Amino acid sequence: MPNQSLRSSFASTGGAPLRVLVVDDSATARAMLCAILARQHDMVCVGEAADALQAREMIRGLDPDVVTLDMVMPGMDGLDFLERLMRLRPTPVVVIAAPTRQHQTTVLRAAALGAVAFIDKPLPGTPGAIEAFEQRVVVRLREAARTRQGRRTGWMTEAPVSLASTSGRLIAIGASTGGTEATPRLLARLSPAAPPVLIVQHMPAGFSARYAARLNGLGPLAVSEARDGEPLQSGHAYVAPGGQHLAVDRAAGGGFIARVTDGELVQRHRPSVDVLFRSVAKVAGERAIGVMLTGMGGDGALAMRLLREAGAYNLAQDEATSAIFGMPREAIRAGACQEVLPLDAIGPRVMALLGLRSETSPADR
């Protein structure tokens, strides 16, 4: 039942609690989620629905800020309901479901349909599982609340502000297996007015300079191998030297400079996407756009989550267009990505976020 006393206390102080509708066929799960909401000073459970039909009527009548949604329900399942909800009445949704054998497929489809996040239900008897689950739920619901004023195709979440200005912005790209072919297709869709682009492609020493030279002749950006201390310029892309880490730092007089260093392997790689993304999160934060392309392993996934938490807007390449879906998958699992898109849609989306016109790919001419 709705927490009327909490809602009344917010009304008396002039505040507005986050209004959440809980949709789950399990009475136990509904009770657990409503109890979590009752413990938060800024949230209220406005209703509980045991199936899609009840949920539909409650959404019409209550107009909740966020919906929590189970996947396995009688009648219409969660994915079908999510698809109809996003088509007919877009509402921020946090999926909360038990893992199944089709778990990863379900996660990806929910993301593609517009779910803000996918949270696994806690396993009974696991020490600390309930507390960790509550923390994840609260964080994801607050994130979802910020999507209320905007809806994106694909992975739905809050949009960065002041998108029309590229001043002080950075684009950071991570790639591995398949990235040498994916990255030029992305760069071909960018505008010469794009902010500096930094690229970490897993590559041994001796190959990156030739790779940068090849990219330089394929698209609208000037592309070069990054040099330590080099000022970063709009309309330019910088490739991490093979066998060295690439990071970014603030320049003394404003703007950004490249940092190229040796050092230990990070996530078993040098250059490492993790190193780049962490540095971009630190110096650019909400002024950054992160992109995770095809690749094996999980390099950069957790750092991309830090990038998102710093306010950046992140995109990942989808499975259908990835040579290897490892790195995008891990980034998605980490909750790092606001959108999951086909490769050829990423460049135009980046330009749209920046308020710029996308270039026409040579393949389209």
Same domain flag for 221 and 310: yes
Same domain flag for 238 and 140: no
Count of beta carbons in the 10 Å neighbourhood of residue 90? 15
Is 150 within a domain?
no
> Residues, the chain, total?
365
Helix (H) or strand (E) holding 62: helix 52-62
Same domain flag for 327 and 190: yes
Are 277 and 314 spatial neighbours (Cβ–Cβ below 8 Å)? no
Which pLDDT belongs to residue 34? Answer: 95
Are 280 and 198 spatial neighbours (Cβ–Cβ below 8 Å)? yes
Inter-CA distances, 195 with 198, 327, 353, 360, Å = 10, 24, 12, 18
Is 302 within a domain?
yes
Q: How far apart are CA 43 and CA 233, in angstroms?
A: 44
Is 365 within a domain?
no
Same domain flag for 139 and 27: yes
Same domain flag for 130 and 213: no
- List residues with catalytic annotation: 176, 202, 299
Is 158 within a domain?
no
> Which of 220, 247, 250 lies closest to 235 in space, CA to CA?
220
Is 237 within a domain?
yes
Is 186 within a domain?
yes
Are 73 and 27 spatial neighbours (Cβ–Cβ below 8 Å)? no
Same domain flag for 224 and 342: yes
Q: What is the CATH number of the domain that holds 277?
A: 3.40.50.180
Question: How many folded domains does the chain comprise?
Answer: 2
Same domain flag for 206 and 333: yes
Same domain flag for 113 and 34: yes
Q: Which of 145, 162, 193 is the last residue of a domain?
A: 145
Same domain flag for 100 and 214: no
Is 281 within a domain?
yes
Is 304 within a domain?
yes
Same domain flag for 44 and 134: yes
Q: How far apart are CA 270 and CA 240, in angstroms?
A: 9
Same domain flag for 54 and 201: no
Q: Note down pLDDT in tens along the chain; length 365 residues.
A: 444 443 443 433 345 899 999 999 999 999 999 999 999 999 999 999 999 999 999 999 999 999 999 998 998 988 889 888 887 888 889 999 887 666 666 776 777 677 777 888 888 777 888 888 998 899 889 877 776 543 333 333 333 333 334 568 999 999 999 999 999 999 999 988 899 999 999 998 889 999 999 999 788 999 999 999 999 999 999 999 999 999 999 988 778 999 999 999 999 999 999 999 999 999 999 999 999 999 999 999 999 999 999 999 999 999 999 999 999 999 999 999 999 999 999 999 999 888 877 766 554 54
Sequence-distant (6+) residues with CB within 8 A of 263 are: 245, 270
Which pLDDT belongs to residue 168? Answer: 85
Q: Which range of residues forms the domain containing residue 240?
A: 170-359
Sequence-distant (6+) residues with CB within 8 A of 16 are: 10
Same domain flag for 220 and 292: yes
